[in-house]
Amino acid sequence: MTSDAAPLLSVSGLERAGIEVPDFALAAGEALAISGPSGSGKSLFLRALADLDPSDGAVALAGADRNSMPAPRWRRQVTYVPAESGWWAERVCDHFEDWDAAAPAAARLGIPAEAGDWSVSRLSTGERQRLALLRALVQGARVLLLDEPTSGLDVEATWAVEARLREFLSDGGAMILVTHDPAQARRLAKRALRFERGVARPERRGQ
């Protein structure tokens, strides 16, 4: 039931213990910024959208409900990148289907091609963050659910990641971005939600 008229991501009646979220939809190219104190439900919200924890409600990608497709296919398209990335193999390249193909994209984020042979344990926090984002990008995610994607990065790396994310949006992707930096939220997203003790409300912007 995919139709061109349907928004890229639509969420209505989302119910999961601990959080309360208004219905919303994101068109291709749109981003939604999320803010709120830690423990206010931001990560629970992103996990529910990625179907990593059980939740009720209608969540659809381009008109196709998530329950109409196997969960792995849903997550390849609606991909959650948590603040603390997980790793399951010894070397960096083992976490990519084809590291050589991903290397040019890695270089744009400031990660050299030889990083593929590095051991995961020697990566810095910032390198992990960028590589985890890259994993989701190279396998063709259409909606990114990003939990503080630049929190461990210096200014230069932050700009590189933001440039890549803007390109992702202009290529027709959509994203939900948890960030503690109001300036970053304004740079990347036109709309915003604020979480307070599990309840999300649209954030009014002064200007």
Instruction: Give the interface with other proteins as residue ranges (CB under 8 A).
Output: 50-54, 70-77, 79-82, 84-88, 132, 135-136, 139
Nearer to other proteins (CB atom), residue 90 or residue 196: 90
Nearer to other proteins (CB atom), residue 51 or residue 203: 51
Nearer to other proteins (CB atom), residue 164 or residue 187: 164
Packing angle of the helix pair 155-170, 99-108 (nearest 10 deg): 120
**Shortest distance (Å) from residue 51 CB to other proteins:** 6
**Shortest distance (Å) from residue 88 CB to other proteins:** 3
- Of 178, 100, 176, which is closest to residue 142 (Cα–Cα)? 176
Nearer to other proteins (CB atom), residue 18 or residue 37: 18
Is the dihedral angle over the CA atoms 87, 93, 97, 100 positive or is it negative? positive
**Shortest distance (Å) from residue 52 CB to other proteins:** 6
Query: Which residue type does 1 have?
Result: M
Find out whether 196 and 16 touch, Cβ atoms under 8 Å. no
CA angle 166, 67, 87 (to 5 degrees): 55
Is the dihedral angle over the CA atoms 102, 167, 41, 19 positive or is it negative? negative
- 124: three-class secondary structure by DSSP: coil
**Shortest distance (Å) from residue 69 CB to other proteins:** 11
Nearer to other proteins (CB atom), residue 82 or residue 185: 82
**Shortest distance (Å) from residue 135 CB to other proteins:** 6
